[in-house]
Structure 1
C-alpha cells in the first residue's frame, strides 16, 4: 500500500497544474464585427470589411484558448454591429439564455462589433438570468492587420469567462486588457485599441490569462434583474428613439418620432440633460399624449440630476441618471414592457 501511494504521488508531480483540475467549458457565440473582419492588406487597420471570418476560423487562429478551457463555437449572427436591431438583440439573448442553462457550460464569450457592443452587453446584463460569466469582446483592428488586437482580446475573454472569480459579477466587456461592467462601459475612441472606457473606471484587468479585480458593480444585473428574456414575447421591444441635443434644435424632430409611433423619446441633452426653453411646450405636450420623455445627456461623464434645469416632477419626465442615451433607450424599452408609470421608470433608472 505504501509503495502504491508513493508511486501515485510521484505520478501526480509529473502532471501539469491544468492536468490536475478539469477545465471549464466556454462557448464562443460569434456575431461578426471587426474581430471577424478582413482588410485588403496588412496595413489596412481602419478600412476593412467587417463580419467576414466564421467562428471556427476565428478560434483556430488563437489555439492557445484551448489551454484555458474547453472552447467550442456557435455562429449566432454574421453582421456589422451598427446593423443590429432589437430583433437581433432578442434573438441573441434567447440563444445565450439557453446555453447558460446547460450544466456543462461554465461561461460564454460573445464576439461582437465594437460600434454597439455596449448596447448588447447592457441588454444581456438586464435580461439573462445567470451567475455564469458572459463576456463580450471585439477588436479595433481586423485580424489581417499589423498588430491586430483581436487575438489577445479573445484569449483574455476566454480566460475571463472560464474564471470562477467572474461568476456573479454581471455581464462584462473585455477589451485592451481591461474588464468593464456592461452598464457603464462605452466606446470613446473610434480608431485606437484603447477605445473603451467607463466614467467609473474598469472593474479589473486580465494579465497573462489571470483576472485581477479592483471593484464590483452595485447596480442590479442578471440574476437580480426584474427583466427576463423568457418573458419577452415576439421579436420587438416598445419603440424608443433618441434625439441628440444641440443649439438651434427643431421641435419637428420630436413630432416626427411621435408620428412614427414611438412610446418614449430619449432627449440626449446638453450638460445636465438640458432642454431648450423653446422645446418645453412640445415635450410637455408629447408627454401628455402618452409618450414618455427621458432626459439623458450627451456629456460622457457625470449624471443627470432630477429637477435640475427642468422641473421633472411637474412635467412627469424621467432622468436617465448616469446611463448614456443609447443605454437609456434599452432600459426604457424594457421598462415599458412592465409599466408606463413615470415614478416606476425613475426607480428603474436609479436601480439599474
Structure 2
C-alpha cells in the first residue's frame, strides 16, 4: 500500500529529473574567443564614436552586459588576445585556428564566436575559413561603435552571432561574418563603410542569410572549398612567407615591385585597375619577379567582379585571382606558398577552387 502511494510521486520525480537532464543536454555550448577591437572598447564619453581605445573590456564583461545571451547557449568564454585589429598577424591567426580545432573535437561544442575589430575582421575570417578543420560554425563579429556609445551596435551583433553559432542550420557552411543582423560568408564579406553600422556587404553575391526576430535564416550556401574541406593544414606550416599587395594606378612605377621582391617578398598580389590591369612599367616588373620564382596573382581594385585570365596574363605568367579582393587573395597565396604550392598550374587550381 505504501508502495502504491510512493510510486506515482517517485515516478514523477524521476521523470522531472530526466527531462531536466535532457533539456540541459539539448542546450548547445558555444565557445567565445575574445580578440579585442571596437566591440570590446570604451570611450571617454557616451558620445564617443570614433576616438577611443580598442580592447578595454574583457570578453566576460561583454557577456555580463548582455545577460539574455546566456539563454541561447552554454557559453565558454576566453580572452584569447585583446588588441586592435591592425595588430593581427598570421601567427596570431594560427594560434586561434589551433585553439578552435582543439575545442571543435569536443562533442558538446556546437560552434564558436570570435570577437574582433572590424578593420581587418574579414582577413581573420577568411584565414579561418581556409584553415579551420571542422564543419561546426565559426562566427566572427565586431562593432562599429564602442560599447559605451549611445546606441552601441556591439551587444545585438554579439547576441546574433551566438544565435548563428548555436544554429544547426549553420553547420557545414564555413566561417561567417555576422553584423547588423546580416550573415556574410568570410570569403565574400568585406567592410564597405568606415562608420555606419551596416558595415559589411558581399557586393555581387549578397548575404548568406539573416538573423531576424524569429531566428536564423539561411538563403544560400558557399560552394567553394573551405574549413573541413580545405587542403591547408595549419599544423604543417611553421612560418608564413611575406606576400605583398601592389596597387596599380595611372603611370604607376615598377620600382615598388622591384623593391619588395628585393626585400624578400615570396609572392605578390596586384590590386589592378579594371579586370586586374597594371601599368606598362609594373607589367615589366611583374615579369621580372616571376622569372625569379615569385608568383603573381592579379585581382581588382574595383571591389567587385571577377578577374579572368587574359592572353597578356598567360604570356607573363600571372595567375588570375577570380573575384577575391586583393587582401584576401594575399591570404590564399600566403597559404599556398607556405604549403609549397607555387607552380602556376597549381596556383590556378587553388584560385579556381577556393
Quickly name the TM-score band, shorter chain normalised: over 0.9
Residue of structure 1 aligned with 2:284, choices 281, 287, 292: 281
Match 2:217 to one of 212, 220, 227: 212
Spell out, residue by residue over 1:241-271, the C-alpha distance to the aligned partner (whole angstroms, 9 max, x if none).
1011111212111111011101111110111
Residue 122 of structure 2, aligned match among 92, 102, 118: 118
In 1, Cα distance between equivalents of 2:8 and 2:242: 69
Q: 1:260 — aligned with what?
A: 263
Tell me what 2:70 maps to.
Answer: 66
Whether the aligned pair in 2 keeps the contact of 1:128 and 1:222 (CA below 8 Å) is yes
Equivalent residues in 2 for 1:149-164 (5 A)?
Answer: 149-164=153-168
CA distance in 2, matches of 1:288, 1:78: 42
TM-score (norm 1): 0.93
Deviation at 1:209, TM superposition (A): 6.4
What number of residue pairs does the alignment pair up? Answer: 342
> Aligned partners of 2:37, 2:248: CA distance in 1, in Å?
29
Q: CA deviation at 1:20?
A: 7.8
- Cα distance, 1:124 vs structure 2: 0.6
- Equivalent pair of 1:159/1:209 in contact (CA under 8 Å): no
CA–CA distance in structure 2, aligned partners of residues 186 and 338 of structure 1: 28
Corresponding residue for 1:221? 226
The counterpart of 1:346, out of the listed 320, 344, 348, is: 348
How far, CA to CA, are the matches of 1:99 and 1:190 in structure 2?
A: 34
Q: Which residues of structure 2 form unaligned runs of 5+?
A: none
1:205 and 1:211 in contact (8 A); partners too: yes
> Could you tell me whether the CA contact under 8 Å between 2:246 and 2:257 is conserved in 1?
yes
- Summarize the alignment of residues 1-352 of structure 1 with structure 2, pairs less than 5 Å apart: 4=8, 19=23, 22-199=26-203, 200-208=205-213, 210-233=215-238, 236-307=239-310, 311-336=312-337, 337-352=339-354
SS in 2 for 1:212: strand
- Runs of 5+ consecutive residues of structure 1 not aligned to the other structure: none
8 A Cα contact 2:254 2:284, kept in partner? no
* Deviation readout 1:34-88 (Å, 9 max, x if unpaired): 0001111001112211111111111111111110000121111110001111111
Give every structure 1 segment of 4 or more consecutive aligned residues whose post-TM-superposition deviation is greater than 4 Å: 18-21
Q: 1: CA distance between counterparts of 2:24 and 2:103?
A: 27
Deviation at 1:340, TM superposition (A): 1.2
Distance 2:127 2:214 in 1: 27
> How big is the alpha-carbon RMSD for the aligned residues of Structure 1 and Structure 2?
2.0
Q: Which has the larger radius of gyration?
A: 2
The offset of 1:338, in angstroms, is 3.0
How far off is 1:315 after superposition?
1.5
Between Structure 1 and Structure 2, the one with more helix by share is: 2
In structure 2, distance between residues paired with 1:229 and 1:342? 22
Contact 1:141 1:148 in 2 (8 A): yes
Q: 1:80 to 1:103 in 2, by over 3 A?
A: same
Q: CA deviation at 1:94?
A: 1.3
Mark the CA change 1:208 to 1:44 in structure 2 (over 3 Å): closer, same or farther. Answer: same
On the 8 A contact 1:176/1:194 being kept in 2, the answer is: yes
